[in-house]
Chain A
Amino acid sequence: MTLTEKILARAAGKAHVQAGDNVWVDADILMTHDVCGPGTIGVFKREFGQNAKVWNKDRVVIIPDHYIFTCDPKSNRNVDILREFVREQGITYFYDVIDDPAGSWRFDPAAGPVKRQHGSHYAGVCHVALPQKGHTRPGEVLFGTDSHTCMAGAFNEFATGIGNTDAGFVLGTGKLLLKVPATMHFRLEGKLQPGVMAKDIILHLIGEIGFDGATYRALQFSGSGIPHLSMDDRMTIANMAIEAGAKNGIFPFDGRTAEYVDSRTRLNGTKTTYDPVEPDPDQNFVFEHVIELDKLEPTVACHPDPARRRLAKELGHVKLDRAYIGSCTGGKTSDFVEFARILRGKRVAIDTFGVPATPEIVHELKSTRWGGKPVWEILVDAGVHLTENPGCAACLGGPLDTFGRVNSPLKCISTTNRNFPGRMGHKESQVFLASPATVAASAVAGRIVDPREYS
């Protein structure tokens, strides 16, 4: 069996499953957030009754992160709906925006979008918060009401996005009926050249198979390149499995996985035991492909779809209006560090917005110093508009007052994961997806450039 089949067989209590089987699987964790949580709760109550209890209060993880730092009253209300539900159900893991469990959340526009407005429990973008707070474990099944839930496949688990109705069902029963996806196998061989990043691997891969090239399928990674990829790198890659239509993406388990997961579960007092899945000698793949990492070059996905692949060096004619670094796939500490490495001592030529994914990342950027200067300050000195309020922000546009939102028909280069029309705000705006290095260098040049010319 493939890694995905092994996990699903285990979660279904079966010795063997294969692609195409429909099986009932037990969920280890169900994650939801402020955009889909209220609807999921609505489905749960409508279907199981007003007094129904969730199947397991320690396995439901609720992370407000999408529409938080906005004056939009409905968005603020949605965070309050989550808090109310958590209180009523006694849910253990809720990363509230505010510290007062009896309070209500109101964003203060007078204080502005940049200065920290959240409390001490707030965790930021769900897919980065989940591992940081010790909720991702090898061999487990994670469902989330968000398509980029597949990011947790970096930790050798089966993780996939589901809708509110399915999530309402899981909330009540802890189970979901799944079709076992066929697995596509990608061998990542060798090592990336300087200036080439994990984002370039996944943009290359999506360009190779197309935006629907993995529909209904699992992506499984292996190869000599894996040990060189940090957990951040693996997360960047697994995150965008969905941009090729995949149900999930999954990495093998190794010492790096163990180190990350063990330290995070211990630190946060979450469940520390887990059972990773190892590849079997006989695995059935529907597709096999080798990516030679040392041959990859800085890659860009052009507006308006993530598979419209070009090399950064071929796009020098594309003049830009804006640059953006942030999101689950592109707003991690390592992303900002690479961004800062290129910007150090330079100035951006276009409006550049930075939104760290989580408060922990804000802290790391402020406490990591280069030559006595915090990385945060290096970025600010280079002209980057940085916010201390982590979250999804302009990655998906959001309410009109969202920090960094593209409110006019601009051309924006971004470390995020989607560039369909209107994704970052204005319907006629254009988004180009690239690695933090490419985005940083392009911010300096005011047009798309290969970052290797700028480091």
Chain B
Amino acid sequence: MQAVIQGPVYVVGDNIDTDQIIPAEYLNLVPTIPEEYEKLGAYALCGLPQDLYPVRYVQEGKLDSVYPIVIAGKNFGCGSSREHAPIALGSAGCKVVVAESFARIFFRNSVATGELYPCESENRICDKVKTGEVAVVDLDACTLTVSNSGKVFRLKPLGDVRPVVDAGGLFNYARLAGMISGEARPKANQPGNRTA
């Protein structure tokens, strides 16, 4: 699994709850149905108030986002236990969310689904970077580097959850580790494994 994720960042503030990540009206979409998985991606972060976030995470009419890295403040993913939240982000092409802190269930769902890496930063980053700036997240070195300025931010190590996301989620991990039987399944959000 890739240890380096590079691309433009999308920056949000504190307390981004699951209703802002995927508004409740789209919860009629079932993530295990491939077309609906794709659609969830189109709505990722569309619940953010427009006045605070004039640039959308996913452009109108598109299924994917141009931002593989999301940077957030405290308590990212608070609220509901809907797995639609990390799935919408993953489906849109988000690979990593770097936040000052995560809400418990969102963190766990990100790992269980293997959709994205939930990385905690050592310090607050969301006030120091702007949407659209290009950055590099290095999971081995535990750093986020802003390409233009060269500024480096430290990330907390992912620890035990890294191999689970690397494997593509809880079930694949359990299979690779011999805890349950069967063959590991390719990751849903890998290129070549998409339906649209």
Which A residues contact B (CB, under 8 angstroms)? 35-36, 38-39, 41-43, 45-47, 66-67, 72, 74-75, 78, 81, 145-147, 149, 161-166, 168-169, 173, 211-212, 215-216, 245, 247, 304-305, 396-400, 418, 420-423, 427-428
Contacts and interface: CB of A to CB of B under 8 A. Distances in A.
Contacts of A422: 19-20, 23, 47, 49
Given A46-B185, A397-B25, A400-B25, A418 B49 contact: no
A165 B81 contact: no
A338 B107 CA distance: 38
A42 B48 CA distance: 29
B113 interface: yes
Given A163-B108, A423-B19, A39 B81 contact: no
B105 A427 contact: no
Nearest to A402: B25
B49 A428 contact: yes
Given A46-B185, A245-B103, A67 B27 contact: yes
Given A165-B169, A166-B108, A247-B104, A39 B83 contact: yes
B110 to A, nearest CB: 9
B99 to A, nearest CB: 11
A124 B52 CA distance: 37
A211 B78 contact: yes
B79 A42 contact: no
A420 B104 contact: no
21 contacts: A35-B27, A35-B28, A36-B81, A39-B31, A67-B28, A74-B30, A163-B112, A163-B113, A166-B109, A168-B171, A215-B103, A396-B24, A398-B25, A399-B25, A418-B19, A421-B17, A421-B47, A422-B19, A422-B49, A423-B24, A427-B49
B20 A398 contact: no
A215 B30 CA distance: 28
The number of chain B residues touching the other chain, given as a range, is 35 or more
B77 to A, nearest CB: 10
Given A35-B27, A420-B19, A166 B170 contact: yes
Contacts of B104: 215-216, 245, 247
A418 B79 contact: yes
Interface in B137-155: none
Contact of B81 (A145, A211, A215, A397): A145
Interface of B: 15, 17, 19-20, 23-25, 27-33, 47-50, 74-75, 78-84, 101, 103-105, 108-109, 112-113, 169-171, 180, 182, 185
By CB atoms of chain A within 10 A, which of B23, B27, B170, B180 has the most? B27
Contact of A245 (B23, B78, B169): B78
A234 B79 CA distance: 20
Contact of A420 (B17, B28, B29, B182): B17
B49 A305 contact: no
A305 B73 CA distance: 15
Given A163-B108, A421-B47, A169 B75 contact: no
Given A397-B24, A398-B24, 6 more contacts: A39-B31, A41-B32, A161-B81, A164-B31, A164-B32, A428-B49
A212 B77 CA distance: 11
B25 A147 contact: no
B15 A165 contact: no
Contact of A163 (B32, B49, B103, B109): B109
Nearest to A173: B180
Contact of A212 (B31, B50, B75, B169): B75
A365 B80 CA distance: 29
B83 A72 contact: no
A57 B28 CA distance: 25
Nearest to B32: A42
Contacts of B25: 397-400
